[in-house]
Amino acid sequence: MLKKERAILALEDGTVYRGYAYGHRGETVGEVVFNTSMTGYQEIMTDPSYNGQIVTITYPHVGNYGVAIYDMESNKPYVRGFISREFSGTYSNYRAQQSLEAFMQQYGVVSIQGIDTRALVRRLRSGGVVKGVIAHRSYTHPEDAYGEFTPAEEQVYVRRAQGHQDIDGFDMTREVTTALPYAFPTLRSGKRVVLMDFGIKHTIIERLAEVGIEPIVVPAHTTPAQIMALQPHGLFLSNGPGDPAPLEYAHKAAWELMGLLPTFGICLGHQILGLAAGGKTFKMKFGHRGGNQPVKNLLTNTVEITSQNHGYAVDLESIPNDAFVATHINLNDGTLEGMAHTRYPVFSVQYHPEASPGPHDSRYLFNRFIEEIDLFDGGSGTPVAKASTGRLGV
């Protein structure tokens, strides 16, 4: 029997899972979450929204179709670690350039396999997400890579997980946003839209370009004056990692621009709009992460299967003066999944309509955004009575 290098996953609650090393040899610490997608591991790894998190894939076999450069959602992986029941030792895909393990080694992604991921996910669902450490025996004991960790060594990693900084209250967008503005090249002229980058995915930019938008991506800290100086037709608030509450600069910018530009927010951008309007967000027990989340469109009374990745949600009832109304709700737990302003052409969804990976049920929202822009530009110029609620679902 082929020997495998030992590894452990130590959680802050004292639980230790024993498995085998995979990917880059080393140690890593982060918030342990799970994703229920059956495919798309490369897109998940390179999604900046996972910055600071160790991702558990519930599908038991990962890596069999390799890695293709065209499936990158950013310039590198942002996950702190990766967990699977089993990683494939081989791959078969005409588009692939390398194996998943070679990709992980290239970018320093520490991973573990061979643990009971079903038990881990049940623990996260019952107790909520926790901080954890993945440690490879070969990293700390190269002379005995195949030996077991001692109970004392395991407790060292438990304490390390306990001492790791919480995601709550920490601004993680500073680690993922673009350093400089840039324009996305398009083959045709269109409506200029400023995309505030809180951790934007490549596919989102591509989908906006497809519907006739000229995207200009700017850093998260860009001021309203700098945005308006670009003379945009619209504003897009992107996805991103972590807690939306400490991003006060983003709340302020969204508030000052509300009503001046048609605005579309997704994921973190959705939460920022809720906070900008005076509302509150809360941390969910284990969040929504996967490509199979059912959402009800309240405007059309239809159901969309959506791709999601978030651990926080907007409390709609906390938003004063009924500034926003619900347009979408999650059918599993009733949390808010979409909202629209009652007076201005401003709307948002908590999920990912670009769906990379995931179903394409919600791609219509990109067309709705360009419709909002066209209506705003072609109207009287007064945002009052141009709310997006009446047009989102038709």
Show binding-site residues.
49, 240, 242, 268, 271, 309, 311-312
Three-class secondary structure assignment of 47-109: CHHHCCEEEEECCCEECCCCECHHHCCCCCCCCCEEEECEECCCCCCCCCCECHHHHHHHHCC
Place of tokens 């949600």: 313
Spatial CA neighbour of 101 closest among 62, 75, 48, 73: 62
- How is residue 343 annotated by DSSP? S
- How is residue 354 annotated by DSSP? T
| 8 A C-beta contact, residue 196 and residue 234 | no
Quote the strand ranges of 108-158, DSSP E.
Answer: 110-113, 130-136
Q: Assess whether 267 carries a catalytic annotation.
A: yes
Token readout for 335 is 């949390």
Token readout for 265 is 């927010």
Which amino acid, one-letter code, is at 69?
A: I
Q: Assess whether 352 carries a catalytic annotation.
A: yes
Extract the annotated binding site for L-glutamine. 49, 240, 242, 268, 271, 309, 311-312
Q: Assess whether 372 carries a catalytic annotation.
A: no
CA angle 285, 286, 290 (to 5 degrees): 150
What DSSP string describes 161-219?
HHHSPPSTT---GGGTS-SS-EEPP-SS--EEEEEEESS--HHHHHHHHHTTEEEEEEE
Place of tokens 């809360």: 282
CA dihedral 134, 135, 138, 141 (to 10 degrees): 180
Exactly one of 304, 354, 371, 372 is catalytic; name it.
354
Exactly one of 101, 214, 267, 310 is catalytic; name it.
267
List the catalytic residues. Answer: 267, 352, 354
